[in-house]
A and B are shown apart, each in its own frame.
Chain A
C-alpha cells in the first residue's frame, strides 16, 4: 500500500474499502466481532477472543473473527457480535469463555440464545430478539461520536474509510478555505468538551488572528479526573475520528504541527492512536503535501506520567515541552503564547472528534442538536451502583433524571439514591429533588453543579457526605502541583478539618472555617483546577449540611463510614 497522491486516488481506495466492507457483511461467512478495550480486557475479552479463535480453527464454521472497540456498554462486557449468513448481526453480552462453546453450538443448531442477547443490530426486532437501538440503555441516546463504536476495528484505517471516514477532511481540504472551516465550526456553536465550555470556533478564530508562526494544534487526551473515562474509550474505539478532527483543526489554523497528549496510564488508547497515526502516514493522509493539495501536517504523540494537573492547558504545554507540568499565570492566553511560546489551539479529544460530523453535515445541522446554547451531543459516564454502567452519548439538554434512571437504568436493587456528584472534582452534587435540571453547560451552574467533562457519580446512602467530600478534596490535595500557596496549603487545611470532623473532633465553628478557607482558595489560586478544588466540599456542605452538623454535635455518622474515635467532648 503506497501513499495516495491525489483525491482521485483516495476515492478509488475508498471505493475498494467500501466494497470489501460490503462483501464482509453480505458474504457467506460468519462475522464474529469481539469488543476489545481496556474495560472488556479486564473482564476477560481476550480470553473470549482466544477461545473463539481456537474453536474456529478447525474450520467447521467458515468465519471471520474481528476485533472491534468498546461500544459503551461496560455492564455487558465482554460482548461478542455474531452475524450468521442470512441473519442480521446479533450482539451478545456477558460472553465469558465458559459461554463461548455453548453459544457457538447453539447458533450452529439455529438456536439464537435470546436470553444472552443485548439486541439485534438492525432496524427492527428479529425472531423475538429486540432491536439493539430499543435497548433501554441506547433508546434515548443520540450517537454521533460512538456511531461506529463496536462496529469498526479501531486498528484498521480501511474500516474507518469504508464507513465514511476522512471524507470530512477531504471536503475541508479540497472544497473549503480555512476561514470557511472556522465559520462552519462557529455556526455549529460547538463548545469545548473538556469542562469550561468555551466556544471552539471563537478559539480557532483567535488562533488564526494571532500573527506569530509556527502555530500548534493540540489535542488534550489527558484524563486525570477520578470519575471520567470517556476520552480513552473514544480513542480506544475510534482513534481515526479524533485524528481526522485534529487534521481539520490543523488545516483551519494552516499549520503543519499537530499534537496529541495522552496520559501514559491509558496504554491501550495510546497504542491505538499511535497506530492510527502510522496508518495515516502510510496512506498519505499525514505528511508532506497531503493528496497533492499542498497542505502538510505532522502529528506527534506525547505522553505524561500520571498528574491530574497536566489536564490544565498551560500545564499540559509545559508537560509536552518536557518540563514539570505546572500552570502559569494568564494572560497571555495559550492561543497567543502556548507551546514553545507560539499560538496554540488546545481542545479536548471529544471536541476534535465532533468536528468531522460538523464539516460533513454543516454547522447549522449540528446547531439543531441539543439546546440553543449547548449544541450537539456529549459523552457522559455514570459511575456508582447504576444498572447500565458505561459511556453514553446524549443530546445536551436531557434531564438529569432521565439520564440516571432511563439511560443508565437507575440504581441496582438494594441501593437507595442519595445524590449525584457532578463535574468531576470541580463542582458539587445534586439531590433527588433537583434532578429535573437539564444536563447542559449552563443550567447546572446556578445549582453549584457542573457538566464538566461529563463524569457523574451516583452515590447511595452507604456513602457519607462528609467522607465523600473529604475524598474529593483529598484528591485535589494529592494532585496539587504545589506552585501556588493557596492551593498547596489550603487543600491540606480543608482535609485536616474534614478529618477532624470525621473522627468526631469537629467544632461548630469548623463549618465557618471551611467557608472562609475555601473562599481564599477559590479567589487566590493560580489555575482553574485550584480555583474549583473546594467546590465539591462547598456543594456537599450545602446539600447535606445536616450530616455535617450531626457529625459535629452528635458524633454520629449515619452511613457508619467515619471512624469517630473521639472519646470525650472537647472544651470550647
Chain B
C-alpha cells in the first residue's frame, strides 16, 4: 500500500477494523501486551504510525498516547514520519561488515546525510541501516528492498545504480500522477 503522506488525512477505518477483529484483550495486562503489535499493524497499513493512528490505538487499548509515542521512539523499526516511496534496509550485520558494508553506510552518510535512517531529499527512498543481521549472510553485503526483495553482493557502484533506479522510478510515478 502507498505510504500515507504528511498533512494528508489518514483513513483510520482499516486500522479500526483490524483492531476490532484481532486486538481484543481480556484484561488490562493483555491490553498492554498488545500495544506494540497494534503499532506494527498501523505501520503495515500506513507505512508509518501517524499520530491519529496512535490516538486510536491508545483509545482502543486503554493506554495513553504518550506511552505509545515512548514505544515508537524506542524501537528502531517504527517510523513517526512518513517514509519515501521505496524502503531499503541495508544490513549492517557482521557478515556484511566483513564483506565491506561499512563503505556503503559511509557513502549514504556522505552523499545523503543519512545516519541510521533517513529519506533522500526527493522523497524517493527511505534507507534504514539495519543494526542487526538480516540472516542472509551468503549474499553479504545485502539489502532488502520494500520488505520482500533482496539485493545481494552489493558494491558501492551497485548501490548507487540501485538508488538511481529507484529515484528514476519514483519520478516517473510522480509525473504520471498515478498516486498522490
Interface residues of A (CB under 8 A from B): 38-39, 41-43, 74-75, 77, 223-229, 232-233, 264-267, 300, 302-308, 319-325, 340, 381, 383-385, 389-390, 421, 455, 457-460, 463, 467-468, 471-472, 475, 478-479, 481, 561
- Inter-chain contacts of B97 with A (CB < 8 A): 226, 468, 471
Identity of the chain B residue whose Cβ is nearest the Cβ of A563 in the assembled complex: B106
- Inter-chain contacts of B150 with A (CB < 8 A): 41-43
* Minimum Cβ distance to chain A for residue B73 (Å): 9
Q: Are A340 and B29 in contact (CB under 8 A)?
A: yes
- Inter-chain contacts of B39 with A (CB < 8 A): 305
Q: Are B94 and A227 in contact (CB under 8 A)?
A: yes
Given A304-B75, A385-B98, A471-B97, are A224 and B135 neighbors across the interface (CB < 8 Å)? no
Identity of the chain A residue whose Cβ is nearest the Cβ of B115 in the assembled complex: A478
Q: Are B75 and A305 in contact (CB under 8 A)?
A: yes
**Pairs A–B under 8 Å by Cβ, sample size 12:** A223-B133, A224-B132, A226-B132, A265-B134, A304-B75, A305-B76, A306-B130, A307-B76, A322-B34, A381-B137, A383-B98, A384-B94
A11 to B92, CA, bound (A): 48
Is B159 at the interface (CB under 8 A from chain A)? no
Interface residues of B (CB under 8 A from A): 29, 31-37, 39-40, 63, 67, 70-71, 74-78, 92-95, 97-99, 102, 116, 130-140, 142, 147, 150, 152
Q: Are B76 and A306 in contact (CB under 8 A)?
A: yes
Q: Are B76 and A320 in contact (CB under 8 A)?
A: no
Given A305-B77, A306-B76, A421-B94, are A264 and B132 neighbors across the interface (CB < 8 Å)? no
* Minimum Cβ distance to chain A for residue B98 (Å): 5
A302 to B29, CA, bound (A): 13
Q: Are A226 and B94 in contact (CB under 8 A)?
A: yes
Q: Are A42 and B36 in contact (CB under 8 A)?
A: no
- Inter-chain contacts of B75 with A (CB < 8 A): 304-307, 325
Q: Are A321 and B33 in contact (CB under 8 A)?
A: yes
Q: Are B74 and A322 in contact (CB under 8 A)?
A: no
Partner of A228 from the list B36, B133, B139 (CB cut-off 8 Å) is: B133
Partner of A229 from the list B92, B116, B135 (CB cut-off 8 Å) is: B135
The 7 closest A-B pairs by CB, nearest first: A305-B75, A383-B95, A229-B135, A227-B94, A322-B32, A42-B150, A306-B77
* Minimum Cβ distance to chain B for residue A410 (Å): 15
- Inter-chain contacts of B40 with A (CB < 8 A): 264, 303, 305
Q: Are B94 and A264 in contact (CB under 8 A)?
A: no
A561 to B74, CA, bound (A): 32
- Inter-chain contacts of B102 with A (CB < 8 A): 467, 471, 561
Q: Are B135 and A226 in contact (CB under 8 A)?
A: no
Main secondary structure of the interface of A (DSSP, over half): mixed
Partner of A324 from the list B32, B71, B77 (CB cut-off 8 Å) is: B71
A370 to B170, CA, bound (A): 55
- Inter-chain contacts of B139 with A (CB < 8 A): 42-43
- Inter-chain contacts of B94 with A (CB < 8 A): 226-227, 383-384, 421, 455, 457, 471-472
- Inter-chain contacts of B77 with A (CB < 8 A): 264-265, 305-306
Q: Are B138 and A39 in contact (CB under 8 A)?
A: yes
Identity of the chain A residue whose Cβ is nearest the Cβ of B128 in the assembled complex: A306
* Minimum Cβ distance to chain A for residue B156 (Å): 14
Identity of the chain A residue whose Cβ is nearest the Cβ of B68 in the assembled complex: A322
Q: Are A383 and B140 in contact (CB under 8 A)?
A: yes
Q: Are A302 and B140 in contact (CB under 8 A)?
A: no
Given A227-B95, A322-B71, are A479 and B131 neighbors across the interface (CB < 8 Å)? yes
Partner of B95 from the list A321, A457, A478 (CB cut-off 8 Å) is: A457
- Inter-chain contacts of B35 with A (CB < 8 A): 322
A300 to B150, CA, bound (A): 31
- Inter-chain contacts of B33 with A (CB < 8 A): 300, 302, 320-322
* Minimum Cβ distance to chain B for residue A351 (Å): 20
A106 to B36, CA, bound (A): 51
Partner of A308 from the list B63, B98, B132, B136 (CB cut-off 8 Å) is: B132
Identity of the chain B residue whose Cβ is nearest the Cβ of A471 in the assembled complex: B97
Q: Are B98 and A303 in contact (CB under 8 A)?
A: no
- Contacts beyond the supplied A305-B71, A308-B131, A383-B98: 5 A-B pairs with Cβ under 8 Å: A226-B97, A265-B134, A322-B32, A383-B137, A471-B94
Residue of A225, A306, A381, A457 with most partner-chain B CB within 10 A:
A306
* Minimum Cβ distance to chain A for residue B120 (Å): 21
Given A264-B40, A320-B33, A475-B131, are A42 and B142 neighbors across the interface (CB < 8 Å)? yes
Given A300-B33, A383-B95, A463-B98, are A42 and B136 neighbors across the interface (CB < 8 Å)? yes
- Inter-chain contacts of B37 with A (CB < 8 A): 302-303
* Minimum Cβ distance to chain B for residue A467 (Å): 7
A43 to B39, CA, bound (A): 30
A320 to B33, CA, bound (A): 6
A120 to B144, CA, bound (A): 33
Q: Are A77 and B138 in contact (CB under 8 A)?
A: yes
* Minimum Cβ distance to chain B for residue A186 (Å): 31
- Inter-chain contacts of B138 with A (CB < 8 A): 39, 43, 74-75, 77, 389-390
- Inter-chain contacts of B34 with A (CB < 8 A): 322
* Minimum Cβ distance to chain A for residue B147 (Å): 8
Q: Are A322 and B36 in contact (CB under 8 A)?
A: yes
Residue of A232, A381, A478 with most partner-chain B CB within 10 A:
A478
* Minimum Cβ distance to chain B for residue A38 (Å): 6
Partner of A383 from the list B93, B116, B131 (CB cut-off 8 Å) is: B93
Given A264-B40, A305-B40, A463-B98, are A227 and B116 neighbors across the interface (CB < 8 Å)? no
A463 to B94, CA, bound (A): 11
* Minimum Cβ distance to chain A for residue B55 (Å): 17
- Inter-chain contacts of A320 with B (CB < 8 A): 33
Identity of the chain A residue whose Cβ is nearest the Cβ of B40 in the assembled complex: A264
